[in-house]
Amino acid sequence: MEIKKYIIGAMCLIGALNINAQTAKEVLDKTASTVAAKSGAQANFTISGQSMNATGTIAIKGKKFHATTPQATIWFDGKTQWTYMKNNDEVNIANPTESQLAAINPYNFIYMYKNGYNYTMEKKGGNFIVHLTASGKKPIQEMYLTIGQKSYTPSQVRYKTAKGWTTIDIRNFKAAKLADNMFRFNSKDFPKAEVIDLR
């Protein structure tokens, strides 16, 4: 009888975990759909962590983004990233890794969560708190997302790499109609900048 109770209890626990994981997946899917609007979106952000402390604005359209901080301007067209450093009038060109993209684009999680991560979730106040953990070797080992229950937009992304934890706070998210050329560096706008290709 005791064994039967144990088995039933274990099955209920596994069922609850599966429901929680499925619910987290649904929340992430809805958030990804909201954030990745076809026309684009804009927001303000603040990054604090081991490797960077900055405040700025970001525009996104699918996997593309354009971010501006007092120190730098970054363009990413889905493959190539251009980083203009204001203090030395220099542009670095690179094909960034997943962790490099996450370091400046708080919305990169809408693509990375689909492969190689497990999810759990809890509700706190008016938010979902989704916890992602890597199921294998990943540059980003762990992540917490704070997502509005009504808006399905994130207000905070907190993630862990080998260097430690980084927190990105997001404000003033809104949909916008953005042209594709906004996400590519135009050398005509920076005629004196030194261009360094790191690809």
How many residues are recorded in the chain?
199
Render 62-113 in DSSP notation, one character per residue: TTEEEEE-SSEEEEE-SS-EEEEETTTTEEEEE---HHHHHHH-TTTHHHHT
Give residue 51's pLDDT band: very low, low, confident or very high (50, 70, 90): low
d(CA 16, CA 102) in angstroms, rounded, equals 31
More confident residue, 173 or 6: 173
Give residue 3's pLDDT band: very low, low, confident or very high (50, 70, 90): low
Kindly state the tokens that stand for 17: 């975990």
* Pairing relationship of beta strands 81-85 and 72-76 according to DSSP bridges: antiparallel
Is the confidence at residue 104, as pLDDT, over 90?
no
Mean pLDDT, the chain, rounded, equals 84
Q: 31, 149 in Cβ contact below 8 A?
A: no
pLDDT tens string 4-35: 444 444 444 444 444 344 488 899 999 988 88
User: What does the pLDDT read at residue 89?
Assistant: 92
pLDDT tens string 80-94: 999 999 999 999 999
Tell me what the mean pLDDT of segment 168-173 comes to: 92
Q: Give pTM, 2 decimals.
A: 0.77
Backbone phi, psi, residue 8, to 5°: -65, -45
Beta-bridge mates of residue 195: 91
